[in-house]
Amino acid sequence: MISRAVAIVLSANLVLCNNCYWNDGSSYQLFSSKTPYDTVRGDIRDYPVPENCSAVTVWLLNRHGNRNPGDDDTDAMKVIAGLKDEIVDSFNAGKSKLCAQDVDDFKRWKWNETMEVSQSYLTGTGYEELYNIGRRIKERYPHLLKGSQDDFYFRTTNEQRTVTSSMAFVHGLTENSNLSLVVDGPWPRDDVIRPYENCDRYQKEVKYSQESSDQLDAYYKSPEYVAVQNNVQNRLGIPTQLSADDIYTFYDLCRYYRSWDPQLRSPWCSVFTKEDLVVLEYKDDVRHYYRNGYGSWISVSLGGPAVKDLYESMEASIQGNGKNLIAYFSHDTMIEMTACAMGLFKDNELFGATRNPERLWRSSVVGAFAANIMAVLNRCETSGQQSYKVQLFLNEKPIDLCPLEGCEWKDFREKFQSFSTANLDFCI
Q: What are residue 83's phi and psi, to 5 degrees?
A: -85, 0
Supply the pLDDT for residue 26.
66
Domain count for the chain? 2
Residue ranges of the chain whose pLDDT lies below 70: 1-18, 25-26
How far is it, in rounded angstroms, from Cα 85 to Cα 106?
9
Within a domain: 26? no
Nearest to 197 by CA among 9, 71, 330, 287: 330
What mean pLDDT is reported for the chain? 94
Q: How many residues does the chain have?
A: 428
The domain boundary, picked from 279, 307, 326, lies at: 279
- Cα 399 to Cα 33, 327, 396, 406: the distances in Å are 20, 19, 9, 10
Q: Do 46 and 140 belong together in one domain?
A: yes
Q: Is residue 341 located within the same domain as residue 330?
A: yes
Are 47 and 76 part of one and the same domain?
Answer: no
- In this structure, the answer to whether residues 174 and 312 fall within a common structural domain is yes
| CATH classification at residue 35 | 3.40.50.1240
The alpha carbon of residue 147 and the mean position of all alpha carbons in its chain are separated, in whole angstroms, by 32
In a domain, 13, yes or no: no
- On whether residue 112 sits in a domain, the answer given is yes
Task: Report if residue 377 sits inside a domain.
Answer: yes
CB of 380 closer than 8 Å to CB of 50? yes
Considering the domain architecture, whether residues 202 and 129 belong to the same structural domain is answered as yes
Name the region of 94 (left: φ>0; alpha: ψ -120 to 50; beta: rest).
left
Domain that holds residue 371: 31-67+122-206+296-428
DSSP letters spanning 203-254: HHHTTT-HHHHHHHHHHHHSHHHHHHHHHHHHHH--SSPPPHHHHHHHHHHH
Domain presence at residue 212: yes
What pLDDT does residue 379 have?
97
Query: Is the dihedral angle over the CA atoms 283, 284, 285, 289 positive or is it negative?
Result: positive
Query: Widest CA span of the chain, in angstroms?
Result: 84
**pLDDT for residue 63:** 98
Instruction: Sort 384 into a burial class: Cβ within 10 Å, 0-12 / 13-18 / 19+.
Output: exposed
Strand-pairing partners, residue 153, are 326
Boundary-marking domain end, from 253, 279, 305: 279
Is residue 1 in some structural domain?
no
What HEC string does 85-126 produce?
A: HHHHHHHHCCCCCCCHHHHHHHHHCCCCHHHHCCCCCECHHH
The reply to whether 58 and 75 lie within a common domain is no
19: in domain:
no
Same domain, 63 and 80: no
Strand partners, 329: 62, 156
Q: Which of 224, 251, 279 is the last residue of a domain?
A: 279
Residue-wise pLDDT tens digits, 65-122: 999 999 999 999 999 999 999 999 999 999 999 999 999 999 999 999 999 999 999 9
Rounded Cα gap, residues 69 and 121, in angstroms: 8
Q: Are residues 115 and 127 in the same domain?
A: no
Q: Please indicate, yes or no, whether residues 200 and 226 belong to a single structural domain of this protein.
A: no
The answer to whether residues 371 and 332 touch, using CB atoms and an 8 Å cutoff, is yes
On whether both 139 and 149 belong to a single domain, the answer is yes
The answer to whether residues 54 and 116 belong to one domain is no
Does residue 350 sit in the same domain as residue 399?
Answer: yes
Predicted pLDDT at 27? 80
Confidence (pTM): 0.94
The reply to whether 134 falls in a domain is yes
Q: What is the pLDDT of residue 8?
A: 35
